[in-house]
Amino acid sequence: MKDVLVVGTGLIGTSVALALKAQGVGVYVRDSDPVSVKIASSLGAGSMEEPPKKVDLAVVAVPPALVADVLVRLQAEDVARHYTDVASVKARPQQDAIALACDNARYVGGHPMAGSERSGPLAARADLFDGCNWVLTPTSETDTDTLNAALQLVAACGAVPVLMEAAAHDRAVGLVSHAPHLVASLVASLLEPADERMVSLAGSGVRDLTRIAAADPGLWVDILDANALVVADLLEEMSEGLDDAVMGLRAMGATDDDKRSNGARIVEDLLRRGQAGRARIPAKHGTVPEQYETVTVMIGDQPGELARLFTDASSAGVNVEDVHLEHSAGRPTGRAQLSVTRDLREVLVTTLHNRGWRHH
């Protein structure tokens, strides 16, 4: 792959462009928003000039409802040999592309399973897709060369390709992304009218749970609009569990011992099923959560502390697989939770203790 046109310079589009540039690919960027495309270009994502010749691949990085419209215009210009998109819903763009008589042999849907609660080109990173799953949804019409071009894109961005049917993808992202986003927003909405003293007690649990609720509502309306019925079914299924939780909790508050005991069983069953479901989430591609353990370290609010922590961990020959920071503005200390493979936990703990770090 020598050159690529990225249409749409939001978080995902700009991150794709940055990742490709880092691999030596010639990248051109285009966006209907002149400010966004200028920012992306100034970050080194690519040239705002029109490609002098047909590029190898065009990446459509716009909301799901706009994918087919952009695709048909690009194909009318004949700007690329092959086309893909990065929208978070796949069935609707695929159906729209058929309705608009796009050249579907040269188009394959795609969705990198990565993102952030932040949006726009300033939030973009070249390493955003490292190790993440990138779903491709070829059909019986998809040309082999087009699929290969999309696979090259995925590899260049450091991601792992996953082939799925569009409808199966949409059910999956409804379960692991879209419905959870609405649930996070519902929880966060309870905080909006709450007394300030109550909200000030918020800790890492509610921060983690509601983090994604900080995302752009307008963007998420576009995403949910394209997968509305799937998400509605999931929320309806979830509502049955909520009804059980309410019933169990009210029984736990009763004076009758039998009712209290029965209520506790209902709630405990819900918590156990939640625990079992959480355990199925991979900690990292190709691994399971049980292979990792967490070391929690107290970290001061001084410049360079986090870098010093990573340096000390590296000196022990320990690779930090994931890191989570718990810190509130104005507080002198925070906590860094370092995920490492189980066999290296004691090595890391000993090294950090010897270097003067306090850990839990």
In a shared domain, residues 57 and 121: yes
Helix (H, G, I), strand (E, B) or coil at 125: coil
Rounded Cα distance between 346 and 167, Å, is 45
Helix (H, G, I), strand (E, B) or coil at 136: strand
42 in any annotated domain: yes
| CATH code of the domain in which 32 resides | 3.40.50.720
In a shared domain, residues 156 and 41: yes
209 in any annotated domain: no
In a shared domain, residues 150 and 265: no
In a shared domain, residues 127 and 24: yes
Please report the pLDDT score of residue 351 as a whole number: 87
In a shared domain, residues 10 and 149: yes
What's the structural domain count of the chain?
A: 3
101 in any annotated domain: yes
User: What distance lies between CA 86 and its chain's CA centroid?
Assistant: 12
229 in any annotated domain: no
Q: Using alpha carbons, select from 50, 62, 63 the residue that is nearest to residue 5.
A: 50
In a shared domain, residues 40 and 123: yes
In a shared domain, residues 256 and 345: no
In a shared domain, residues 155 and 9: yes
In a shared domain, residues 7 and 130: yes
Pick from 165, 183, 216: which residue ends a domain? 165
333 in any annotated domain: yes
Pick from 137, 165, 193: which residue ends a domain? 165
- pTM, two decimals, is 0.73
90 in any annotated domain: yes
In a shared domain, residues 349 and 309: yes
Check the CA dihedral 148-154-157-159 and report its sign: negative
What are 182-213's pLDDT values in tens digits?
999 999 999 999 999 999 888 888 888 898 89
Q: Burial code of 265-290, b = ≥16 C-beta within 10 A, e = fewer?
A: ebbeebeeeeeeeeeeeeeeeeeeee
223 in any annotated domain: no
228 in any annotated domain: no
Pick from 128, 145, 165: which residue ends a domain? 165
Per-residue pLDDT tens listing for the chain (360 residues): 899 999 999 999 999 999 999 999 999 999 999 999 999 999 999 999 999 999 999 999 999 999 999 999 999 999 999 999 999 999 999 999 999 999 999 999 999 998 877 789 999 999 999 989 999 999 999 999 999 999 999 999 999 999 999 999 999 999 999 999 999 999 999 999 999 999 988 888 888 889 889 988 988 898 899 899 999 999 999 999 999 999 999 999 999 999 999 999 999 999 999 999 988 887 655 444 456 788 888 888 777 777 788 888 888 787 777 776 765 555 567 778 888 888 888 888 888 888 888 876
For residue 266, the enclosing domain spans 242-281
In a shared domain, residues 277 and 302: no
